């Protein structure tokens, strides 16, 4: 019985010592660790599991194996046109060599400080080599769509011009031709994505010595500096005003063209209507003359009487005074008997 008690006591003492001294440590999934003894790194643990260390002597420093993010502050950088712009970038990185990482930077905060210098230097170098449009756009899709639009408008304008010439109208600026007044969009040769790749290539060569792998660098936002913004707005206003004036001129030209076509068409319609009315009048006069001739042939005296009555009806109301009625014209006003 005493032997069993002693064994239990020994086991309990050993357990207490183990719990106090903790000669083990656990590396979780997504972690890696370095074991440090008297300030010197003695080994690296990159696999998850239960690990042994020298109690009271060894210290363990844990580092993440997962992908980490770096978010720098927006920096005011001059581009190739000497325009100062604010560039905000972000990046992803990970610790690939914990031994070098511990020896070079030791902590994540110091790693961020190193990345600040490396990435910001690369961003400044690349941005300074290109104009603004290279940093903003990735493709020339805007230019391609404008070219397709201009082609379609040119074909439509060619058809309209052919129709105007067939109708004898003068050529004048049209709204379709106003496309030529649109702002010129400069073609890019690199683009924002390529600039990000250049930044990554430039910065990536400086990170392996710190045990760091830089995965990517992304331009998150670009905007004009406060000093440049008013001049940019002023230039945009002037460009919009020039385009508006061009469109107004084109509209006035098209208006005059349409008014000319309308006037010409109106004259044509009136001329055709006048010719038609004169033809109808001629036919009516001929029929009337035939009727009069037929009536005259049937009863000459009645015909003369009827014509005289018609004449009296038209002339007598407007006759203010009569000096004499002793003329053949007024014969029908008297009784001949």
DSSP string for residues in 88-129: EEEEEEEES-HHHHHHHT-SHHHHHHHHHHHHHHHHHHHHTT
Task: Please state the rounded mean pLDDT for residues 216-234.
Answer: 76
- Answer yes or no: are the C-beta atoms of 129 and 190 closer than 8 Å: no
pLDDT band at 213 (very low <50, low <70, confident <90, very high): very high
Q: Please count the residues of the chain.
A: 337
Contacts of residues 28-33 at CB distance under 8 Å and 24 or more positions apart, as own/partner, are 30/64, 30/65, 30/66, 31/62, 31/63, 31/64, 31/65, 32/62, 32/63, 32/64, 32/65, 32/95, 32/98, 33/60, 33/61, 33/62, 33/63, 33/98
Query: What's the pTM?
Result: 0.56
In this model, does residue 299 exceed pLDDT 50?
yes
In 3D, which of 107, 103, 294, 90 has the Cα closest to residue 208? Answer: 103
Q: Could you give the CA distance from residue 325 to residue 333 in angstroms, rounded to a whole number? A: 9
In this model, does residue 33 exceed pLDDT 60?
yes
- Among 42-56, 130-144, 196-210, 298-312, name the one with the lowest average pLDDT: 298-312
Structure confidence at residue 175 (pLDDT): 46
Task: Please state the rounded mean pLDDT for residues 304-321.
Answer: 68
Task: Please state the rounded mean pLDDT for residues 207-236.
Answer: 81
pLDDT: which is higher, 302 or 42: 42
Please name every residue paired with 88 in a beta bridge, in sequence order, or none if there are none.
221
Task: Please state the rounded mean pLDDT for residues 89-114.
Answer: 93
Structure confidence at residue 179 (pLDDT): 46
Q: Calculate ∠ Cα 302-308-312, nearest 5°.
A: 145
Give CA torsion, residues 227, 232, 233, 239, to 10 deg. Answer: 160
In terms of Cβ atoms closer than 10 Å to its own Cβ (0-12, 13-18, 19+), residue 188 is buried
pLDDT: which is higher, 296 or 115: 115
Task: Please state the rounded mean pLDDT for residues 155-168.
Answer: 70
pLDDT band at 176 (very low <50, low <70, confident <90, very high): very low
In Å, what is the CA distance from 117 to each residue of 80, 114, 135?
22, 5, 21
What are the DSSP calls for 299-324, one per residue? -HHHHHHHHHHHHHHHHGGG----S-
Task: Please state the rounded mean pLDDT for residues 70-93.
Answer: 89
- Answer yes or no: are the C-beta atoms of 199 and 119 closer than 8 Å: yes
Task: Please state the rounded mean pLDDT for residues 308-323.
Answer: 65
pLDDT band at 298 (very low <50, low <70, confident <90, very high): confident
Highest-pLDDT range among 32-41, 89-98, 190-199, 245-254 = 89-98
Give 262-278 pLDDT, tens digit per residue: 888 888 899 899 989 98
Average pLDDT of the chain to the nearest whole number: 79
**How many CB atoms are closer than 10 A to CB 127?**
24
Structure confidence at residue 180 (pLDDT): 46
Structure confidence at residue 262 (pLDDT): 87
Highest-pLDDT range among 192-201, 280-289, 307-316 = 192-201
Task: Please state the rounded mean pLDDT for residues 231-243.
Answer: 75
Task: Please state the rounded mean pLDDT for residues 23-46.
Answer: 88
In 3D, which of 187, 203, 223 has the Cα closest to residue 85? Answer: 223
Structure confidence at residue 178 (pLDDT): 46
pLDDT band at 13 (very low <50, low <70, confident <90, very high): low
Structure confidence at residue 211 (pLDDT): 94
Q: Could you give the CA distance from residue 210 to residue 226 in angstroms, rounded to a whole number? A: 37
pLDDT band at 181 (very low <50, low <70, confident <90, very high): very low
């Amino acid at each position: 019985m005493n032997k069993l008690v002693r064994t239990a006591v020994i086991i309990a003492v050993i357990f207490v010592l183990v719990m106090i001294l903790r000669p083990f440590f656990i590396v979780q999934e997504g972690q890696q660790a370095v074991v440090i003894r008297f300030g010197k790194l003695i080994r690296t643990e990159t696999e998850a599991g239960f690990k042994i260390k020298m109690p009271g002597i060894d210290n363990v420093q844990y580092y993440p194996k997962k992908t980490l993010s770096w978010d720098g502050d927006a920096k005011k950088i001059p581009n190739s046109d000497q325009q100062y712009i604010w560039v905000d970038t972000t990046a992803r990185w990970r610790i690939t060599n914990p031994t070098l990482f511990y020896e070079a930077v030791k902590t994540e905060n110091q790693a961020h400080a190193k990345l600040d210098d490396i990435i910001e230097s690369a961003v400044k170098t690349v941005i300074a080599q290109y104009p603004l449009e290279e940093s903003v756009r990735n493709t020339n899709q805007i230019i391609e769509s404008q070219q397709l639009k201009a082609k379609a408008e040119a074909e439509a304008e060619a058809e309209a011009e052919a129709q105007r010439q067939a109708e004898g109208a003068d050529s004048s600026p049209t709204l379709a031709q106003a496309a030529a007044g649109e702002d010129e969009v400069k073609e890019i040769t690199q683009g924002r994505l390529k600039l990000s790749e250049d930044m990554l290539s430039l910065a990536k060569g400086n990170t392996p010595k710190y045990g760091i792998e830089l995965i990517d660098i992304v331009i998150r936002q670009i905007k004009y500096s406060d000093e440049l913004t008013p001049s940019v707005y002023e230039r945009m206003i002037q460009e919009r005003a020039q385009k508006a004036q061009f469109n107004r001129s084109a509209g006035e030209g098209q208006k005059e063209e349409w008014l000319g076509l309308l006037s010409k068409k109106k004259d044509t319609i009136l001329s055709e209507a006048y010719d038609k009315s004169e033809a109808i009048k001629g036919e009516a006069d001929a029929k009337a003359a035939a009727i009069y001739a037929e009536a005259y042939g049937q009863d000459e005296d009645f015909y003369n009487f009827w014509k005289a009555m018609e004449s009296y009806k038209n002339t007598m109301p407007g006759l203010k005074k009569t000096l004499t009625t002793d003329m053949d014209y007024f014969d029908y006003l008297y009784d001949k008997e």
